[in-house]
Amino acid sequence: MTKKLHSQWLNVAVFGANDGIVTTFAVVAGVTGAKLSTEVVLILGFANIAADALSMSLGNYLGEKSEARARKKTSQGLHWQVVSGSVVMFVSFVLAGLIPLLPYLLNYFGCPCAQDQQFWRSILTTSIGLFGIGSARTLLTKGSWWRNGLEMLLIGGVAAVVAFTTGALIKGWL
């Protein structure tokens, strides 16, 4: 594979993983802020993963296909690259999106703890996941692994605070 292809897949994988973990944790935070049940966390979390992973991967496919058409490139090799990039997007989104749900899944399948403990455990697993994904970017890029990790952790943290606050505010209004 060429260096450019590695770079494209890294971009797609990081984008998919970041969106997967951030949007799923946003669902977890919003549901927790609204004080809804573990079942609601899992239902909305998995619905988010399924719909958003498909949307992101198909959006990536259409975007890459449009760019190829604009550049008048239509080779079979390019089609394979576009499809492969979309698969990378889907897989990275799903795998990262499962991270915030792990404490809830463990609780649901026999490792009981209070819902607020599940949320704190989800914060911990999500934080580790965000930092790890951010740090892993340095495997193919230059830069500080800890700075890249903190950057992604900060972005995800801001989204989580917004989601939790929104859930709590809407619950209060309803």
User: Per-residue pLDDT averaged across 61-89, rounded?
Assistant: 78
Q: Which amino acid is at 52?
A: D
106: Cβ–Cβ under 8 A, 6 or more apart, which residues? none
Distance CA 1, CA 104 (A): 39
Closest residue by Cα to residue 96 from 29, 19, 173: 19
- Whether 13 contacts 88, CB under 8 Å: yes
- Average pLDDT, rounded, for the chain: 88
Q: What is the pLDDT of residues 101-118, one digit of tens each?
A: 999 998 888 877 776 789
pLDDT at 4: 60
The more confident residue out of 138 and 153 is 153
Residue 79 pLDDT greater than 60, yes or no: yes
- Structural domain that includes position 83: 3-173
Closest residue by Cα to residue 118 from 25, 38, 39: 38
pTM of the model: 0.87
- Split into its structural domains, the chain has a count of 1
DSSP state of 71: T
Residue 174 pLDDT greater than 90, yes or no: no
Distance CA 51, CA 35 (A): 24
- Cα angle 36, 39, 44 (rounded to 5 degrees) comes to 80
Residue in the structure block whose two tokens are 């929104």: 166
The CA distances from residue 85 to 53, 92, 103, in Å, are 13, 10, 30
And the tokens for 136?
């892993």
Q: What is the pLDDT of residues 36-47, one digit of tens each?
A: 998 999 999 999
